[in-house]
Structure 1
């Protein structure tokens, strides 16, 4: 960027600093509503300044997206010129804003300059994969990437990929992605891989990423600078017992890092009922700020590690583990059906019935689920479960792409259907399935002080 453009850039940054100082003077502790209003106002003001600047110099058009990022994510944070330059040097960074703004942890990480530029690409046959940057700590890695090429649009989704470590081994982790189709660039897609490492498995020194973009495989090796997150971890021994619905649990420890909070939960093996999950689980601090759960490793009934949004940079003085109750169901329940007549002979709840059975396809209906039951998924049959016919011969569910569910809202909650595939065989009727989970709960507030 030449001197004139750099001068224009500094003018915009200084205007943003002035806006921030005025806002801080007027509002020491803005509410969420006030903050939303300030951000919207800031975006409008920033847009007006940019209109005037664009008339003077067309080269400033490249700054529009970056300014929107700053107004959205740093309205109350000191704008570092060095960090501003770093974001400016990440190609297409504005295309990732919609992927980040729904995750308070990633917003906080950006505000605290916790991002590593990568800017590496691979191109073949007119297709290009670009990894713009990553956010990483010793538990979680978020990869921001984009793709262009023939047939690629903002709606393109990557469904085939390979993620390996520097030794060519697939990483042990849960991997999610968050497609958002509202970027402005024509012929480009933006997405992120959200990687949470399994317990005892460190973040690789280098991540080898391969994606299939419209039939073309592309690969980028991503270096991970571990020095950026060395010693950025707080471990809190807990050993806190809690009881809800007659079920007993122990919170063993909490690990707080810039991108995630993990809490190990031990479940009492003598619990009578099956524990399927906490209701509206979150962490709350002394100011009432809330960090929601984002899943975890394991199943609660067997003990699990639960992950939450991180408050590492907020440094709360107090932290509480809160929930509205517990999802739970009876153990050792059966679902017995006759696939020839369509009858349901035994079910844990009359609301759960066989809807249809034809050609090896089973549809199980769940009716009159209330609002609480609607808000959470469940595995009616366990993944890869077996079942028996009347001759006691054992068969296995055909899990081609996992269990599929559909939901239909009602006035009081929802109705749902689960779809299963079983082998086509000459069964001796009826068929007996072991029920793994089903909707059920108790509402009892949980409030445990962690620190």
Structure 2
């Protein structure tokens, strides 16, 4: 069957090359990249196969062809476009309400601090910071003609006491701007309550398929950061027997965080809130988990979970409610796929049997998956286990392509030489839902 599907994929590829990027493909790539830390998994301490340099940040490349003809304010456009090589970010950043509103309200601080190494100059162009997050705007100059360097993983933000206050990457978004000699990008990093600190050193690793370069750039914050506003909730909801307690909502300048606990006694694992949104008293949407394809998924903070959404902090409704109607969920004993890659057969999968075939192409595990049009993100996003040795492999990329109205190809690219034996893949997105109309007042 894969020969037939390969012909379909080739036609699909040709169509993409003609028009740029399909919206469903782009949305899936963005959400996959932003949701790599979707939820806590039970992980045993095992040997780890180090990730390849072409990491999951590739999944959040945004091409300019798909973000045109939307107006932005003159303050926003002027502040960003005045930076060398950053003009394209006017169209890119306006998809993020928090960043656009912060720039409009003069929270952007110009830096233009550079470090050069191995013929490549990394320039920290500016920063926006609040109590919970820093957004680092940067340009890269001097790349080879056949490479793109990305800021890999979570950069370090070292304070005066030598402590790294960077906790996690909320988003690593880049613009492949081939029209100029400088490429602009930004990295949004969650920080550990560094609101009173002003002096930092950025330690960043820039990587491509060909090399890795380490940079250090000291910088100071001049603009006063706004403290987050906390709204207690303490309300438990039950959806088809699955219990979730919403604890509080935290409003920072750039993001809103929905903090909650999932009852460990639940029989299902919650994968995602597909239609989660914040609305005013009239039901008008203020922001949502799928806002323009940008959603921050479920992230673990100790025993608690938090879901981040982009907001316009400076234009909040007087009354605010959270609403959702469905959650992706799987029985806890069905949250993985087990495959024998020597025989190329599927040994275990969810009971509805949506995985039809498994195959190998180069360094890719490829699955024929029955889904229809309901799924918009890669089925897999986490580590892969080689069962016999217990090795944990960090995928290079995860992908998904539509084959027809009923079938997808979902794939996992792994480092060379690691596809072998019986392998276990954890499922991060799946077309099974539990449903309940939920509406909770925040303020």
Please give the range of the TM-score, normalised by the shorter of the 2 chains.
0.5 to 0.7
1:292 aligns with 2:294: no
Aligned to 2:111: 118
> Compared with structure 1, are the counterparts of its residues 443 and 414 closer, same or farther at alpha carbon in structure 2 (3 Å cutoff)?
farther
Residue 306 of structure 1: how far off its partner (Å): 0.8
Question: Structure 2: 5+ residue runs without aligned partners?
Answer: 1-69, 290-294
Q: Secondary structure at the match of 1:313?
A: coil
1:73 corresponding residue in structure 2: 72
Counterpart-to-counterpart distance in 2, 1:139 and 1:250: 23
Distance change (3 Å), C-alpha of 1:384 and 1:317: same
Structure 1: how far apart are the matches of 2:419 and 2:377? Answer: 32
User: Relative to structure 2, which stretch is displaced further, 214-223 or 310-319?
Assistant: 214-223
Shift of 1:97: 1.3
Which residue of the partner structure matches residue 122 of structure 2? 129
Aligned counterpart, 1:324: 325
Task: Report what 1:142 is aligned to.
Answer: 135
Measured after TM superposition, the shift of residue 93 of structure 1 is 5.1
Match for 1:441 among 426, 433, 436?
Answer: 433
* Greater mean deviation of Cα atoms: 156-165 or 320-329: 156-165
Q: How much does 1:252 deviate?
A: 0.2
Cα shift readout 1:243-298 (whole Å, capped 9, x = no counterpart): 22321111101110111111111112221211111112222223613312332563
1:96 paired to 2:89:
yes
Q: SS at 1:178's partner residue?
A: strand
Greater CA drift, 255-264 or 204-213: 204-213
Q: Is the 8 A contact 2:367 2:409 kept in 1?
A: yes
2:442 maps to which of 438, 442, 450: 450
Quick check: 1:174–1:197 contact (8 Å CA) kept in 2? no
CA RMSD of aligned residues (A): 3.9
Q: Which one has a bigger Cα radius of gyration?
A: 1
What SS does the aligned partner of 2:369 have?
strand
| Residue 224 (str. 1) matches residue 218 (str. 2) | no
How far is 1:99 from its partner?
Answer: 3.0
Cα pair 1:285 1:318 within 8 Å, conserved: yes
Counterpart secondary structure, 2:103: helix
Equivalent residues of 2:373, 2:405 under 8 A apart: no
Number of residue pairs matched by the alignment: 357
How do 1:150-229 residues align onto structure 2 when only pairs under 5 Å count? 151=144, 156-160=148-152, 162-166=155-159, 167-170=161-164, 171-174=166-169, 176-182=171-177, 184=179, 186-197=180-191, 205=198, 206-212=200-206, 218-225=215-222, 228-229=224-225
> Matches of 1:107 and 1:320 in 2, distance apart?
23
Residues 232, 247 of structure 2: 8 Å contact kept: yes
- Unpaired runs of 5+ in structure 1? 1-70, 388-393
Equivalent pair of 1:283/1:291 in contact (CA under 8 Å): yes
Shift of the 301–164 alpha-carbon distance from structure 1 to 2, 3 Å rule, reads closer
Change (3 A) 1:290 1:136: same
TM-score calculated relative to the size of structure 2? 0.67
Deviations 1:401-448 (A, max 9, x none): 3563332342246342345678688x7xxx585865562213433322
> 2:264 is paired with a residue of what secondary structure?
coil
Structure (1 or 2) with the greater helix fraction: 1
Work out which of the residue numbers 272, 276, 281 in structure 1 matches 2:276. 281
Q: Take 2:302 and 2:434, find their aligned partners in 1: how far apart are those partners?
A: 15
Output the CA distance in 1 between the equivalents of 2:378 and 2:111.
37
The 1:442–1:413 alpha-carbon spacing in structure 2 relative to 1, beyond 3 Å, is farther
Residue 129 (structure 1) shift: 2.7
